Structure 1
Amino acid sequence: MTDDILFAKQGRIGLITLNRPQALNALTRAMCVALHRQLMDWAIDDDVQAVVIEGAGGKAFCAGGDVVAMHRDGQAGSPDFEGFFHDEYRMNQAIAHYPKPYIALIDGISMGGGVGISVHAPYRVATEKTLFAMPETGIGLIPDVGGTHALPRFPGEFGTWAGLTGARVKGGDCVAIGYCTHYTPSAEISVLKERLAISHEPFADVLGTFHTDPGHLTLPALRDGIDYLFSQNQVEDILSLLDEGDDWAMEQAAIIRRMSPTSLKLTLYGLRAGEGASIEQALKLEYRMVNAIKQGYDFYEGVRAQLIDKDRSPKWSPARLEDVDIAPYLVEPAGGDLRFD
């Protein structure tokens, strides 16, 4: 076990606390394995009627996976690279099918892997401190952790927009785009957690009692434009529409052009494939992609530029969308496809 993730029973709930505040509660492989194992134990524990997950430290729920460690493992050719994704994705699938209510209290930053341990749950609570993003196209990855299953199920094309641009969505807008199901002020989260633990009311009723109006939102007004601009099935076609649009649209085009062309192509392919896919099919495709990404260039360059050297000037290869061939990223890995038995 690891002190980076804590488990406790409080009243009728099993409480999971991500406990790496110094790293914004970023997930390690050991944390993924421990979380999965604990979920299986609590699934057959009659004392645990629901699972609640939170992040320690007051700033982040979970800022993602430890991509710097993945960068190191991948460059070294270590099997720990694909091992991390193998264990994380199986944990994501367990959350998606969990037999008891699973409630994510997203009181802070939630990116990448943090989305994977929350978005597949039936109950996801945002606060004014919530910050959602899937920024993977900026580091040569894809919005994985079942993101290619979840994002297409956001209203309209919000998921396509978020997946391609890495857009940061705050507070109540996280409910508007479909990431969260409830909104509660941060100051009330501790009381909500206590009520979930000790109340005899159905969990949905407790969450409904604490759900409040987040006030003014910015994204609903952009919905029609996003649905039109991001409905195309080729990145080039989305960019053509954006280039002809207003200042906001052109800003989105500029953002997309800073991302890895390979990641953009893989992401849009995965999102469209995920529309009619099961969570297992989506994760299997994502696993194929990340195994091939390990053998490529852009992930190492993206992490270097954004997180290691921090020069924010990645040099992608290929550098042009028209030169990207995603076919090698869609085949079964040498070590075999992801399995869930």
Structure 2
Amino acid sequence: MDFGGGDEIRFERRGAAGVVTLTRPKALNALTLGMVVAMSKAFAAWEQDDSLSRVVIKAEGRAFCAGGDIAQVYHAMRAGTPPVRFFADEYRLNAALARFPKPCISLIDGIVMGGGVGISCHGSHRVMTEKALFAMPEVGIGFFPDVGGSFFLSRLKGSYGMYLGLTGGRIRAGDALRGGIATHAVGSASLDEIVDRLCEGDDPDQVLKTFAATPDCETDEGTLLSVARLFSREKLADLLVGLEQAREAGEAVAETALAAIGKASPTSVAVTFRQINTGAMLDMDECMRMEFRILNRMLASHDFPEGIRAAVIDKDGAPKWRPASLAELTDASVEAYFAPLPGGELEL
């Protein structure tokens, strides 16, 4: 089936299923505009196709999808042509996946970050193996957890989404399952058989129940209770004070969190805090419009290209943020990221 995307993505009809396979393993299946447009066309067509009762998304290589191709984003920004269209199309795809009426089963057998989260975590079934590694690390490159992060992170219990968004913490299948990010955990060796049975038309819930594993959680209950207490604040300043106090009291999670936040872009941290708190009160489409507002301001900012430079281009790991500290930020400068767009809002 040819919806476009060239050799970066493959579409197949297999029995009862439409199967999407990401085929950029050397690039960790990072999303390109061509892949996003092709997926949008496929989902629109398959939604209307009564012969297909479900969609399966999988990937080649050691990553499900490590995010968008941020090197391309960097070069576009440097050339004075920020890739607004890429993000607009990506956000529209995220919103379409969230309202897709058929079961959408993502088989996550490796790294899933950023844009990879956007094409998996809004579907009905998020299946992770022992090889899965989840993160939303955007604050570390001067960005924010987009692709619907304001919607799903804000809805994780125990302020877990705020913790992941502000720290960029990496988690495995056990924590993802307990936290509600994954719906099922299975063994990597069973994926081919799972795909076969899904394509044969077996009930997705029964198929996944048959192969379900119960991995140990990587984070203990005491740490999760600390996360719930420390990250459920109405003001970022109060959250940071609480973390400082907890660090002085010897709570390891506070030490780790403060170290991560201290390395991140101060602007990104402040915007992300407001974004996740606000997202809890919005539906998915409203979240995507809010994120598009933030995105446009991030593309015109100093920190986003600087963060990509330090992490991906020069790889010196030494971004120079502006402003350099949270203390230098004003409420007005943060609020500006959320202001209505003069040129019009994202159309979904």
Asked whether the two chains share a fold, i.e. TM above 0.5, the reply is yes
- For normalisation by structure 2, the TM-score amounts to 0.94
Shift of 1:327: 2.1
Match for 2:141 among 134, 139, 142? 139
User: Amino acid of the residue matched to residue 226 of structure 1?
Assistant: V
Aligned equivalents of 2:252, 2:175: Cα separation in 1: 21
Aligned equivalents of 2:240, 2:64: Cα separation in 1: 33
- Give the aligned partner of residue 56 of structure 1: 60
CA gap 1:76/1:335 in 2 versus in 1, 3 angstroms: farther
Shift of 1:216: 4.7
Q: In 1, are the aligned partners of 2:226 and 2:253 still within 8 Å (CA)? A: no
Q: Which moved more, 1:320-329 or 1:101-110?
A: 320-329
Aligned equivalents of 1:47, 1:263: Cα separation in 2: 45
- Give the aligned partner of residue 205 of structure 1: 206
- Give the aligned partner of residue 230 of structure 2: 229
- Give the aligned partner of residue 244 of structure 1: 245
Aligned equivalents of 2:66, 2:345: Cα separation in 1: 27
Q: In 2, are the aligned partners of 1:173 and 1:219 still within 8 Å (CA)? A: no
Aligned equivalents of 2:74, 2:88: Cα separation in 1: 16
| Correspondence list, 1:96-135, <5 A | 96-135=98-137
CA gap 1:122/1:327 in 2 versus in 1, 3 angstroms: same
| Correspondence list, 1:1-341, <5 A | 1-2=4-5, 3-57=7-61, 59-79=62-82, 81-199=83-201, 201-245=202-246, 246-324=251-329, 325-340=333-348
User: Amino acid of the residue matched to residue 154 of structure 1?
Assistant: L
- Per-residue CA distance 1:134-179 (angstroms, 9 max, x = gap): 0000001100000010101112111000000000001222111221
Q: In 2, are the aligned partners of 1:176 and 1:219 still within 8 Å (CA)? A: no
The alignment partner of 1:287 has SS state of helix
Q: In 2, are the aligned partners of 1:12 and 1:197 still within 8 Å (CA)? A: yes
Shift of 1:241: 1.0
- Per-residue CA distance 1:104-128 (angstroms, 9 max, x = gap): 0011100000000011111000110
- Unaligned ranges ≥5, structure 1: none
Q: In 1, are the aligned partners of 2:185 and 2:212 still within 8 Å (CA)? A: yes
Shift of 1:206: 1.2
User: Amino acid of the residue matched to residue 239 of structure 1?
Assistant: L
User: Amino acid of the residue matched to residue 36 of structure 1?
Assistant: S
The alignment partner of 1:124 has SS state of strand
Aligned equivalents of 1:305, 1:136: Cα separation in 2: 13
- Unaligned ranges ≥5, structure 2: none
Shift of 1:68: 1.1
Q: Which moved more, 1:274-283 or 1:219-228?
A: 219-228
Identical aligned residues as a percent? 42
The alignment partner of 1:9 has SS state of strand
Q: In 2, are the aligned partners of 1:244 and 1:250 still within 8 Å (CA)? A: no
Shift of 1:196: 0.9
State the superposition RMSD in angstroms.
Answer: 1.2
Shift of 1:265: 0.7
Aligned equivalents of 2:57, 2:299: Cα separation in 1: 30
Q: In 2, are the aligned partners of 1:233 and 1:268 still within 8 Å (CA)? A: no
Aligned equivalents of 2:257, 2:313: Cα separation in 1: 26
Residue-pair matches, total? 337
Aligned equivalents of 1:68, 1:189: Cα separation in 2: 31
CA gap 1:232/1:216 in 2 versus in 1, 3 angstroms: closer
Aligned equivalents of 1:114, 1:34: Cα separation in 2: 15
User: Amino acid of the residue matched to residue 186 of structure 1?
Assistant: S
